[in-house]
Structure 1
Amino acid sequence: MSHGDDYTVRPYDGDREGYLDLYETVFGARKSREWFAWKYEDNPYADHVPIYVAQRDGEVVGARSFFGLELRAGERTYTTLEPCDTMVHPDHRRRGLFTRMTERAIERYADDGLDLFFDFPNEQSLPGNLKLGWRVVETVTTHYRVQHPGALAPVGEESLVGRALDAAGATAMDAYFGLRGRRVRRLGRDVTVSHYDGVPADHLCPLYESHVPKRFHANRDETFYGWRYDNPEYDYTTYLARRDGEVVGAAVVGESAAKGVANVLDVHPLTDRAANAPVYAALLRSLLQDVSAIPLVALRDGVVPPRVLSGFGFHPDTALPLSKLTEPATLVARPLEDEWTLDGRSLTDPRDWQVSICEKDTA
C-alpha cells in the first residue's frame, strides 16, 4: 500500500536479506539466517512470516515484526502475537512508517481472528504503542544476581553496568553471597537436582500440566518446548528437581557468553510458590554453581518467593541500586476487538498475568 510518498507498506515477501541489513543498520549487529529462521520462518504459532515492511526504491527501510506465541489461562488458550524487532532506517524516521506498518498489521490480524497482542516495549516504542491502542498492564520486575561487577559492560539490551557494586570486587561478592545464602541453605536438602543439555519436554510437560496457572502465560506444551528453546544465540540447560525419585520442579536456563547473561527463563512449579520454596531453593543452589563464570543471572518475578531470591543474592531492578542502571520491563496488551476482558480475565489487571522470561522474544 502506497500513500503517494514513494513508500510501500506490505506484508513480508521473501525480504530476509533486506530485513537483516536493516537490523544491522538500526541495532548495530548482524543477525544470522538461523536466528531469522527460528524466530519467524519456523515459528509454529504462525502459518506465515508475521512481518510488515516499509519499502522505498526497492529497499526495506522499515519493519514491524511479530513473535508468535500461544497464551493460556486455566483451560483456555489464546492466539497471540508479540511485537518485536521494530525498525525504521535512520534516514526515514518521523514519516509515519511505524504507525502505518502497525495499522496494517492490526487490520490483517483482526480479520484473521487473533485474540490479542502483548509485548514488552522499550522507552522508545512505548509511546507509539499506547497511541495505537495498547494499554499498560504493569511494570514487570526482573531480579538480577550480579556475580562479577567489574566485568559488566553495555553489550546489548539485556546487559547493565555494574558500577554500583564494582568496588566490592569478585572476592567480596563471593563472601556477600555466602552470608546471604545462609537464610535458605536449610531449604530443599531433601531435594536432589540433575541437569540436562537442552529441554526434555517429556519431563516438563507433565510437571506443567499439574500446576497450570489461571493467569495469562505461555502455554508450555510439546509444541512450545520443541521450538521455543531452539534460539541459536543461546545454550539451554534444564535442571530437574526430584524428591524421593519424583520430579517436583524444574528450571530452564539460557546462557549467552557473548551477552554475559544467564537467563532463568522458566521455573516450575508455576503455582503454590510458598509451599514449593524448598524446591526453588534446591534448583537455584544447583544452577548458580554451574553459571558462576557468567557476570549476570536474571530471573523474572512471579514464581520464586522474594525471600528465596534475596537469600541467593538476587536484587529487583525496580529498587536501588539496580533501578539506576536498568530499564524495567513494561508489559502492555491490546485486544483485536474492543473487549478488554477474555473469559472473565482483564487484559489490564496485573493479577491476571504471570509472565516469565520465556515469554520475551529475545532470550
Structure 2
Amino acid sequence: MKYGDYEIKRYKPKFVPQIANLERHLWSKDIPRNISYFRWKYEENPFAKEPVGVIALYKGRVVGFRGCFVSKWKAGDNESQTLLLSPADICVHPDHRRRGLFTIMTESIIAEFGDREYNAFINLSSNKLSIPGYLKMGWIPVADKSFIRRDSLKAVLSSIFMKKIKFSLYRGPVEYGRFGDIEVSRNPKADEMDSIVRKQKILSDNGMRLFKNLDFFRWRFQNNRRKYVFYYYWRNGAVSGYVTLRASGDNEIGRIIDYGESSDNAIEKILRFIIRNRQYDILNIWNINLGEEITRALRNLRFDMRDFGKRTKGSEGRLPILIRPLKKEYREANWFINEVDIRNIANWKIDEICSDAC
C-alpha cells in the first residue's frame, strides 16, 4: 500500500539484509549478528507458520520495520491453544521519523493478519515512547509489570561505594559444572525441561499460560542477544527441576525467567545454591501471578516481596502490559479466548520468558 512517499509491504526474505542494517539503530552494529538474530526470532520460530512483519520502503530502500513475535498459549484448559502476537523491534531510520510510520506499519499488521489464526496482541516489551501510540490504537493496560528481588550484601555495599567513591564491587564469574545435586550449564536440556513441564501440576486450568514443549525448549534459548545460565537439580539419576536465568554481561544481575520442578522444593534448592555461591549480586523475577511453589521458595530465601516496579537496578521501571484483540474493528466477544477474559490479569500466568525481549 502507498503511504505518502512510502510503500508499506509485507516482509519478504530478500529484505533481511536491509532490515538487519536498519536494526543497527536498535540491536547491534554487527549486521551478520543481526541477520542471525532476525532469522532465529522470525524465521525459525516453531510456532510461526510464516514471519509476521511489514516494512516501509522509500525509493526502494527499507527505512522502517515492524515485526511481531509469535507465541503459543494454553487458553482455558489443557487442550485448547491459541497464537498471540507481540509487537516487537519497531525501527524507523532517523531520517524518516515523526512521519507516522510507527502507526501505519502497526495498522498494516492488523489489516494483514487480523483475519488469520492469531487472536490477540500481548505487549510485554513496550517502552515509554511507544506506549501512547498503542493506547491510541486500541490497546488497553491490564497491569503494570512488577518485580520482586533479592540483593546480596555485596550489592548493598557496592551501592554505597558507587555513590560515595564511584567504585563498584560487582564481580564474580559463574562456574559451570556439576556440584553435588546441582548442575550449572550454558546449554538447555530440552528433553529434560520438556519432561518436567509435562509432569508439573497445573494449579489452575482456566487461564492463559505459555505453551512450552520440546520444540520450544530447543529453539527458545538460541537468542544471540542474551546470555542464559541453566541450573538443574538432579535426583535419583534424573533432572527433576530447573531454573533458567538471564544474566547481565558481568553477572551483576540474574533474572529468573523460567523454572519448573517435578519433585518437591527443587526450585528452592537451586536458588539456595545460587545465593550461597554468590554468583549474582541481584536476583529478580517478574511478579505476575506467581505460582505457589516459586512464591514459597522466594519467601523462604528472603526475597523482598515488595513491588519493585519503580526504576531500580535490575528492573525496567513501571511499565504496563498491553492487550488488544487482533481484529481491526473488535467487539466485546473478541476480548475472550476460549471463554477466558484476557482483560483480567488474574487470568494470566506470565513469566519473563513470555517476552520477546527476553
TM-score using structure 2 length: 0.79
What residue is the counterpart of 2:54 in the other structure? 52
Contact 1:64 1:87 in 2 (8 A): yes
Give the number of aligned pairs. 331
Contact 2:183 2:232 in 1 (8 A): yes
d(CA) in 2 for partners of 1:53, 1:202? 37
What residue is the counterpart of 2:241 in the other structure? 249
State the AA in 2 paired with 1:42. Answer: E
Which residue of 194, 201, 216 maps to 2:183?
A: 194
Contact 1:316 1:322 in 2 (8 A): no
Partner-residue secondary structure (3-state), 2:36: helix
Shift of 1:282: 1.0
d(CA) in 1 for partners of 2:169, 2:224? 33
d(CA) in 2 for partners of 1:16, 1:146? 41
Partner-residue secondary structure (3-state), 1:111: coil
Shift of 1:357: 1.2
Partner-residue secondary structure (3-state), 1:15: helix
Which residue of 228, 234, 238 maps to 2:226?
A: 234
Which residue of 76, 79, 82 maps to 1:78?
A: 82
Contact 1:23 1:30 in 2 (8 A): no
Deviations 1:297-350 (A, max 9, x none): 332222421772583455656367839974134211122243101122111111
Which residue of 280, 284, 289 maps to 2:271?
A: 284
What residue is the counterpart of 2:16 in the other structure? 16
What residue is the counterpart of 2:175 in the other structure? none
Contact 1:151 1:295 in 2 (8 A): no
State the AA in 1 paired with 2:139. Answer: W
Change in 2 beyond 3 A, CA 1:29/1:297: farther
Partner-residue secondary structure (3-state), 2:99: coil
For structure 1, the residue ranges without an aligned partner over 5 or more in a row are: 153-161, 175-190
Which residue of 337, 343, 353 maps to 1:342?
A: 337
Deviations 1:134-167 (A, max 9, x none): 1112112123445565999xxxxxxxxx689856
Change in 2 beyond 3 A, CA 1:323/1:36: closer
Partner-residue secondary structure (3-state), 1:322: coil
Deviations 1:237-276 (A, max 9, x none): 3323355666543211233426854332102249xxxx96
Shift of 1:80: 1.5
What residue is the counterpart of 1:139 in the other structure? 144
Partner-residue secondary structure (3-state), 2:273: helix
The alignment status of 1:116 with 2:120, answered yes or no, reads yes
Partner-residue secondary structure (3-state), 2:37: helix
The alignment status of 1:354 with 2:333, answered yes or no, reads no
Shift of 1:111: 2.2
What residue is the counterpart of 2:199 in the other structure? 210
The alignment status of 1:105 with 2:119, answered yes or no, reads no
Change in 2 beyond 3 A, CA 1:282/1:196: same
Contact 2:284 2:314 in 1 (8 A): no
Contact 2:9 2:56 in 1 (8 A): yes
State the AA in 2 paired with 1:300. Answer: W
Q: Report 1:6-45 matches (<5 A).
A: 6-13=5-12, 14-26=14-26, 29-30=29-30, 32=33, 33-45=35-47
The alignment status of 1:322 with 2:312, answered yes or no, reads yes
d(CA) in 2 for partners of 1:92, 1:171? 43
Q: Report 1:174-185 matches (<5 A).
A: none
Contact 2:181 2:233 in 1 (8 A): yes
d(CA) in 1 for partners of 2:115, 2:109? 10
Change in 2 beyond 3 A, CA 1:50/1:94: same
Higher deviation after alignment, 60-69 or 315-324: 315-324
d(CA) in 1 for partners of 2:310, 2:106? 36
What residue is the counterpart of 2:63 in the other structure? 61
State the AA in 1 paired with 2:54. Answer: Y
Change in 2 beyond 3 A, CA 1:244/1:118: same
Higher deviation after alignment, 243-252 or 342-351: 243-252
Higher deviation after alignment, 94-103 or 302-311: 302-311
Change in 2 beyond 3 A, CA 1:220/1:307: closer
Change in 2 beyond 3 A, CA 1:171/1:125: closer
Partner-residue secondary structure (3-state), 1:305: helix
Partner-residue secondary structure (3-state), 1:238: strand
d(CA) in 2 for partners of 1:165, 1:216? 42
Contact 2:123 2:322 in 1 (8 A): yes
d(CA) in 2 for partners of 1:166, 1:317? 24
Contact 2:243 2:270 in 1 (8 A): yes
For structure 2, the residue ranges without an aligned partner over 5 or more in a row are: 173-179
Partner-residue secondary structure (3-state), 2:221: helix
Partner-residue secondary structure (3-state), 2:49: coil
TM-score using structure 1 length: 0.78
